[in-house]
Amino acid sequence: MTESAALTIENIGKRFGDVVAVTDASLTLEAGTVTCLLGPSGCGKTSLLRMIAGLERADIGQIHASGRMLAGEGHHVAPEDRGIGLVFQDYALFPHLDVAANIGFGLRNLGAASRAARVAALLDRFRIAPLASAYPHSLSGGEQQRVAIARALARDPAVVLMDEPFSGIEGALRREIQSAILGTLRASGAAVLIVTHDPEDAMRNGDRIVLMHRGRILQAGTPQTCYRAPTSLAAAAMLGPINAIPGIVKAGRLQCDLTTYPAPDVADGPALLLARPEDVTITPSDDDTAKAVTILGNAYIGGKYEVTMAIDDLTLVVHQPEPAIDGRYALAIDGGSVVPA
């Protein structure tokens, strides 16, 4: 565990009967950092989050926070004793309590004056002081969300877990709320883990991204690294359109019908060149080496066209300023990642 690590997960696994929910998952959450756990529905994201929170027992593996074991080897610390704040997808506010009482619910160990001061500070931090006496049913989705996060931070947790926290908020308001709340969470110094199925949210909001598929963590790193240097086709596809160009690696270079490409760290054998649409450039050409291209579609996506084209049996997606027509083109690939097939 590094000095800045608020929580580490080591080889965690979980089954529900014959269904494997999580397999051999390892992860580190850093203090003051927002990590987005991205994956499709049913991939194990929520199961992993619930094991971290202590709401589910791990079948195998360990969880540590600040040098203290929370789970592993027959050991299981109760959720309320883990020092972890949890924000549910539906916010789970207590309908019979007003905003101030919701935020202060977990502070019953404090004296009345200390509890009131802590609640007042959180009301101010999240700009919801005018709502202190309001009840959850009268709040907007964004207001309920702020109350839920304030409640999660009331006990100064080292880790905050958030399950699809922005899914019920749309458009410009969604981005505004994300920016304000995540700034406050980073300033709190807590390690924040956000579960999401939205790749755009993950890349915009996360200092780090964790990509999860079929119960396994495929890759973890900065948004830039995960997008530009995916470690597998499955990981690459989770962050947007990807061209998977088959070839053979020999002596550190991938060779295929379209190009050759450096592959210094890939063993000889079948491999894929993974290239984003913006990595591929097409130029009309009458040269003998130019490829015959059939255009399958030109979609305007704001400031550029997404061109889908066929070259023999290969389909590629390219981003460029103008639509394209059938013809012969020279192709150049500048950027990409080579992975074993």
pLDDT in tens, 71-126: 998 899 999 899 899 988 888 899 999 999 999 998 888 899 999 999 999 999 88
Mean pLDDT within 245-256: 95
Helix, strand, coil percentages in the chain from 3-state DSSP, rounded to 5: 25, 40, 35
Write down the CATH number for the domain with range 241-340. 2.40.50.140
Q: Is the dihedral of CA 222, 223, 227, 231 positive or negative?
A: positive
Distance CA 48, CA 108 (A): 29
Residue partners of 237: CB distance under 8 A and separation at least 6 = none
Residue 25 pLDDT exceeds 90: yes
pLDDT at 130: 95
pLDDT at 3: 57
Mean pLDDT for the chain? 92
Phi then psi for 90, rounded to 5 degrees? Answer: -95, 10
pLDDT tens for 113-151 read 999 999 999 999 888 999 999 999 999 888 888 899 899
Residue 278 pLDDT exceeds 80: yes
Distance CA 229, CA 154 (A): 39
Mean pLDDT within 301-314: 95
Other C-beta atoms lying within 10 Å of the C-beta of residue 328: 14
Question: Is residue 156 very low, low, confident or very high in pLDDT (cuts 50, 70, 90)?
Answer: confident
Residue 168 pLDDT exceeds 80: no
What pairs with residue 193 in β-bridges?
35, 161
Mean pLDDT within 36-50: 94
Residue 26 pLDDT exceeds 90: yes
Distance CA 316, CA 306 (A): 10
pLDDT at 2: 55
Residue 1 pLDDT exceeds 80: no
pLDDT tens for 11-23 read 999 999 999 999 9
Domain ranges of the chain: 5-233, 241-340
Residue 270 pLDDT exceeds 70: yes
Q: pTM for this one?
A: 0.88
Task: Please state which CATH class domain 5-233 belongs to.
Answer: alpha beta
Contact (Cβ atoms closer than 8 angstroms) between residue 273 and residue 261: yes
Distance CA 223, CA 100 (A): 37
Residue 307 pLDDT exceeds 70: yes
Helix (H, G, I), strand (E, B) or coil at 218: strand
Lowest mean pLDDT among 31-35, 43-47, 65-69, 127-131: 65-69
Mean pLDDT within 187-202: 92
In angstroms, how far is the first alpha carbon of the chain from the final one?
33
